[in-house]
Each structure stands twice: as structure tokens, then as C-alpha cells.
Amino acid sequence: MAKNKSDMKMQNGQVITAEDGKQYFVCGKNYIEISEHFAQDGKPLGDLIEDVILYTADHRISA
């Protein structure tokens, strides 16, 4: 767990958790706060993409 921003800089290209519990993706000098993510017990990404494709195909407007 990183204690401050100087400690965070040593972990480039990784997801880190600050003392306050917030998660960040760190790459170089960029810090992106992670505010949403997939649920641990949710559908796999492949299933979600399949659902989007099927929904789009079912609601397609023909010319």
C-alpha cells in the first residue's frame, strides 16, 4: 500500500491503493482514479460483449 504520492511514483503502470482506500492506475506521472469496475461475481467480459452484439442485432433498423 502506498503511503504518499512519492511512494506511488515508484509503482508505474500498476494499480495502487492509497491510504484512504482510493485506487489509482499509475503510468509515468499520470494518476487515474478508479471509480468504477466490474463486480467480482458479475458476468465475464466476453459474455457482456456477446450481449451487446445480440441486443444491437435485435434492434437494428432496416432501410
Query: What is the DSSP secondary structure assignment for residue 9, as one 8-state letter?
Result: G
pLDDT in tens, 3-62: 565 555 555 588 999 999 899 998 888 999 988 767 778 888 888 889 999 999 888 766
Q: pTM, whole model, 2 decimals?
A: 0.41
C-alpha distance from residue 56 to each of 45, 52, 59 (Å): 17, 6, 5
